[in-house]
Structure 1
Amino acid sequence: MTLPASAEPRRNLTEHIYQRLKQDIFDFRLLPGDRITENVIAEQMSASRTPVREALMRLQREGFVEVFYRSGWQIRPFDFQQFEQLYDVRVILEMAAVSRLCELQPTTELEALQAIWLVPIEERQSHGPSVCQLDEHFHLDLVRACGNPELARIHHDLTERLRIVRRIDFTRDNRIEATYREHAEILHSITQRRADQAQLLIRTHIEESKAEVRKITLHMLFEARQHQDDSRRLA
């Protein structure tokens, strides 16, 4: 069905507002519990309330915001029990993926990952948000490389839901260093076709991240936002 001429610009504007709000949530400019209104967002985005409402409804379906019909919208507070459940599913998916990779011939995806993670210390990234993005792609690429599109789709959706808490894990230098070391060990075990070791390493690696989530407090969220602001000023 062909959209009316006026529908396409509105859809693009809705997508723009959706992406902006989602990034504000991920960058902790909007914290869990913050209240927002359609009128204020519309003014900030130089838009009408209709595309703003459409963007917020999409974020609501994805679990990032919730609506209070008499008092606007709220950034959804963290549900730590749900995060732990998502991490448990992630362990299962990635263990299956690395086991399958140990049975396959080396792929270009694995070679590309080795070029990023198997580097001398002086060539490593140290910027937290950049390492966080590289880490996310490491796990997405591992799952994609095993050749199961449905597994990759489910894993991608799960990654989207966990992204906000995983970013806090990369505000400290020791976690960045540990990520490089653990990723290198996982890649070595895959290239050596040691499936049991690869599964143990990926499980331990994810469990470490899961443990960090348990330590998150509101104070840490404010610190993370400050860290993001400082990094942006230095960039």
Structure 2
Amino acid sequence: MTITEFIKSDVKAVLQARGHLPYKLTLGAMSEHYKVSLTPVRHAVDELVDEGVIRRKDNGRLEAQPEVLKGVKLAPPKEGATERKLYEIIRQDVISRSLKQNTEYLREQATAEQYGAGRTVVRQIFSRLAGAGLIEHVPRCGWRVHPFSEQDMHDYLDIREMLELKALDLARSHFKDNELQNLLKANKPGKGRAKSELDFDLHDYWIERCGNRYISEFFKRYSPFYNTLFNCAVIDETVKREMAREHCDILKCLLDKNWRGARKALSQHIQDQREAVSRMIEYLNAKTTT
């Protein structure tokens, strides 16, 4: 659903439900209400006029025609669909730039104009992407994309394995069986046609409980970027099934107090991600060029 389509759908749904709109029927008021630029609003209004939902009077003013929608079955738009749609579009663009080593600065105004959105909305999206480690704000320059490097990914996995195994050892006395059982239930390898269920929270479980702030700060600083790139590439059911099985192996060992087995299973799980790095790059490059 495009921003224009969302605005049209929302106007129809509100008119049908209330018989009037909660804002003045002007381009400026609608732009402010939907937090977008005038362009998608203008397109939406033109199409609504063509459909008879809005009438353009002789003096140029707009007038809603809610009676046109009586008896019409509408699919109500999802709340926040505009921003979610825009977030996904911009995120994929940022990922593409990262893989292509394109570190050209992103600017809020230019991005807002490109997607027909409000600058405030774009700034909020950029802040979310910065929180995911994909971009960083450079004063007076804009937002810089974090360039991806395959060697950096392998180096990260080297350090990650050492520190996460240490975190697992340190957190051992803080594990609770009921919490481990909940994590186990959240990871289900698919059987037959059933899809696998995958939950990455188990890694944070022992990192948060290890009590070592240096380990915690390492993962807080570096893992969001790599996790974002890696997780969005895990779409193959075979990969999901294997990862879910490995998660379960780790958790079952922890529940059995088999610490050596848990360390071995975690180490193997992290090492297996090395093989997925090349597939991830191929997948993301293909996705961003289609």
Pairwise TM-score range, normalised by the shorter structure:
0.5 to 0.7
How much does 1:156 deviate?
3.4
- Residue 95 of structure 1 is matched in structure 2 by 165
- Residue 155 of structure 2 is matched in structure 1 by 85
Q: Give the letter for the 2:119 counterpart.
A: A
How far apart in 1 are the matches of 2:125 and 2:189?
Answer: 44
List alignment gaps of at least 5 residues for structure 2: 1-83
Q: Secondary structure at the match of 1:109?
A: helix
Q: 1:47 aligns with which of 114, 119, 140?
A: 119
How much does 1:39 deviate?
2.9
- Residue 250 of structure 2 is matched in structure 1 by 186
Q: Secondary structure at the match of 2:176?
A: coil
Identity of aligned residues (%): 16
- Residue 209 of structure 1 is matched in structure 2 by 273
How much does 1:208 deviate?
0.8
Count of matched residue positions in the alignment of Structure 1 and Structure 2: 198
How much does 1:162 deviate?
1.2
How much does 1:65 deviate?
5.9
Q: Give the letter for the 2:244 counterpart.
A: Y
Q: Is the 8 A contact 2:184 2:251 kept in 1?
A: yes
Alignment RMSD, CA only? 4.2
Q: Secondary structure at the match of 1:117?
A: coil
List alignment gaps of at least 5 residues for structure 1: 1-18, 228-235
How much does 1:74 deviate?
6.1
Q: Is the 8 A contact 1:38 1:52 kept in 2?
A: yes
Q: Is the 8 A contact 1:98 1:199 kept in 2?
A: yes
Alpha-carbon distance change, 170 to 215 in structure 1, aligned in 2, over 3 angstroms: closer
Residues 1:161 and 2:161 are matched in the alignment = no
How far apart in 2 are the matches of 1:108 and 1:65?
Answer: 39
Where relative contact order (Cα < 8 A, 6+ residues apart) is larger, the structure is 1
Q: Give the letter for the 1:211 counterpart.
A: E
**1:68-115 Cα shifts (integer Å, max 9, x gaps):** x99x76644311222222212221222123334545553443122022
- Residue 263 of structure 2 is matched in structure 1 by 199
Residues 1:64 and 2:135 are matched in the alignment = yes
Q: Is the 8 A contact 2:108 2:119 kept in 1?
A: no
Q: Give the letter for the 1:212 counterpart.
A: A
Q: Is the 8 A contact 2:167 2:207 kept in 1?
A: yes
How far apart in 2 are the matches of 1:22 and 1:54?
Answer: 6
Higher helix share: 1
Q: Secondary structure at the match of 1:199?
A: helix
Q: 2:240 aligns with which of 170, 173, 176?
A: 176
- Residue 9 of structure 2 is matched in structure 1 by none
**1:6-45 alignment to 2 at 5 Å?**
24=89, 28-30=92-94, 31-32=96-97, 33=100, 36-43=106-113, 44-45=116-117
How much does 1:29 deviate?
4.0
How far apart in 2 are the matches of 1:173 and 1:120?
Answer: 8
